[in-house]
Amino acid sequence: KNNRVFIPASLVDIRKTDPQTLLGQEVSFRIIRLQRKRGRIMGDRRSVLFDERAAKRAETLEKLEVGARMTGTVKNLTIDRSCSFTARQWVGSFALYLKDGGTLENCVNEASVTCKPSDKMQGGSDYTLNCFAGGIVARTDSSWRNVAQNQITNCRNDGSVTVDPADVANGSFASAVGGAANVKISRSANTGAVSNAKSRPSYYGTDGNYTGGLVGQIDPNDALGVKTEIIGCVNTGKVTGGCNVG
């Protein structure tokens, strides 16, 4: 009781962490050295965190099956340039629809993303199409007001993003995140070329095409109780569009 335990900085966490951030917290660790006569104890928190992560991974793998619905954080993934994504209405690399507190962290997309609606889709409810193309996510939103804010942190899109309709009336949103609502995008970047030049401005009878390096369109802050923020982000990719380019 009341013994002091020394944990080297290299054994504090799985990743490099400032030990000061743990002050006042109760943590679990493994005793790796004990000198009773001198009252010296050395601990290892890093190995405990590795064990906990491995146990969670094993538990998740047991539950995985085709069609299973899971919740969690997508992180530390890279989609390389040998991949590509194409769809007729909504298309994104890591997620089609991020909502209700969804989280992406430390993810990089190098693949091309293309929204290519067909002029043969006449007669259906989606003939006047609302297209979302995102190098990272097609769209973020909330299913209802006052839900948890979505998070996109330290992510980057290097792939091209293109909305390329033939002759279809559409309202389109192209960028790293096609349509942004109820999301905090921080420390993220787009370096890929974004093109929305061929789109026809006829979404609900208005000039409804929006093209941006980081986001295609942002819903007004606090609309329906949600909030959208872009903090510490940068775009270096070329952006071209038919109207509403930023």
Q: How confident is the model at residue 208 (pLDDT cuts 50, 70, 90)?
A: low
Distance of CA 52 to the CA centre of its chain: 24
Per-residue pLDDT tens for 130-142?
A: 778 899 998 887 6
Amino acid at 70: M
Q: How confident is the model at residue 123 (pLDDT cuts 50, 70, 90)?
A: very low
Q: What is the mean pLDDT of the chain?
A: 81
Both structure tokens of 126: 């989606």
Q: Is the pLDDT of residue 124 over 50?
A: no
What pLDDT sits at residue 59? 87
Q: What is the mean pLDDT of residues 100-105?
A: 87
What pLDDT sits at residue 204? 47
Q: Among all chains, which residue has been given the structure tokens 């982000």?
A: 233
Per-residue pLDDT tens for 4-33?
A: 899 999 999 988 888 888 888 889 999 999
Per-residue pLDDT tens for 149-182?
A: 889 999 999 999 988 764 554 556 767 787 778 8
Nearest to 150 by CA among 86, 218, 93, 211: 218
Q: Is the pLDDT of residue 122 over 60?
A: no
Residue 178's CB is within 10 A of a number of other CB atoms, namely 32
Quote the pTM value. 0.69
